[in-house]
Amino acid sequence: MEQRPINVMSEIGKLRAVLLCRPGAELENLTPDTLQELLFDDIPYLKVAQEEHDRFANLLKERGAEVLYYDALTAEALADESVREHFVDDMLRSSKQSDRRVSSALRDYLLSMDTHSMVRQIMAGVRKKDIKIAFENSTSLEAMVECGGEKFCESGYPFYLDPMPNLYFSRDYAAAIGHGMTINHMHFPARRRESLFMKYILEHHPRFKDQDVPIWYDRDQRWSIEGGDEQVWNRETVTIGLSQRTQPGAIEQMATKLLAESDFKRVVALEIPKSHALMHLDTVLTVVDYNKFTIFPSIMDKLGEMNIFVLSRRDDGEINIEYRENLMDVIREVMGRDDIDLIPTGGGDQIASEREQWNDGSNTLAIAPGVVVTYDRNYVSNQLMREHGLEVLEIPGAELGRGRGGPRCMSMPLVREEI
């Protein structure tokens, strides 16, 4: 039987194909004035960030995974010239750059490049000075005003097309669930364009376009949802974080389609505190083995309780929602076993726990049952996982981690082996 291009029935099945996005010039287009808007706390050193990312990719390859890259897949999906032109037009619309006098020059500038260079340029952002030749004889009042009356745009806000520095967190803009995908409506405007690449990949890349990949939620739908909040716990259960970036309406709409058109039986929504530090479910809770989870204990109260909503499909096709409170009880029930082992980030020590959660100690990527990839800096959590029987593969993340994301954030599994 031919392997489906999307097959994710768990969080721990051996990783066979994964999508990454190697950081590029978009990181060097960060400035102190744009950090907050672009959702960064600091400016990573690109050279070292790329070295760290390459270590990560090589480790996954060494462990048997096919590594695919977002820019390469997009370029291959845009092989047809008309598709390429439509992609640029869609990107300009998503960037609020359509229907402007400057847009035709921006469009011409992008389409003048070879396809891969064009994709990387869109990811990196387009500075005003990059297309000064296109404006050399401009009579556009808009262009003149934006350039402050100067011949070329060398001052003021530097971009016609903003950079996308969060792209290396490839988990978020789409997520594989079963044999389908969510193409995500990102919460903050700075990240909204990121999922457009995936839409074109699924619709036009030879690997995916004729495979009838179900879309459980699309980027044009109303509410926001992000892949860091989406987890496939087993063949019957998808768990979603109700977080700063994933809204109840998105979960309900996605669950309605998923439960009607797949073999999944339930969607579990876990409400976590809405904060920058705890932005997604996978920053506070991840599955690392058949019965083992990493957890940031502060998401629960002292009784182990939190707001939990279990969505299932009634016989009449409507969604039934059951409210629960005890996380351990829910995990035992949906995982079908009593020997659940919650491994606390930082070993339960308050300071170590908060420090290592901030440094993505809970953001573990399982690449096989009981085998996880982590940042080396989270030594307390890493040692504790080893004591709980896990194989821990460490990678450096001093620069990558400045973007507030770890190994799970940086990977979009497409194919996992069944468990």
Sign of CA dihedral 77, 409, 327, 233: positive
DSSP string, 284-335: TEEE-SSSEEEE-GGGS-TTSEEEEEEEEE-TTSPEEEEEEEEHHHHHHHHH
Q: How far is CA 383 from the centre of its chain?
A: 27
Query: Of the listed 21, 147, 153, 409, which one is catalytic?
Result: 409
Residue 123: CA count within 13 A, CB half-sphere: 26
Q: What is the DSSP string of 175-232?
A: EEEBTEEEE---SSGGGTTHHHHHHHHHHH-TTTTTS---EEE-TTSSS---GGGEEE
Which residues make Cβ contacts (< 8 Å) with residue 261, sequence separation at least 6? 214
Q: Would you call 409 a catalytic residue per the annotation?
A: yes
Question: Nearest CA to 269 among 223, 205, 302, 210?
Answer: 223
Active-site positions read 409
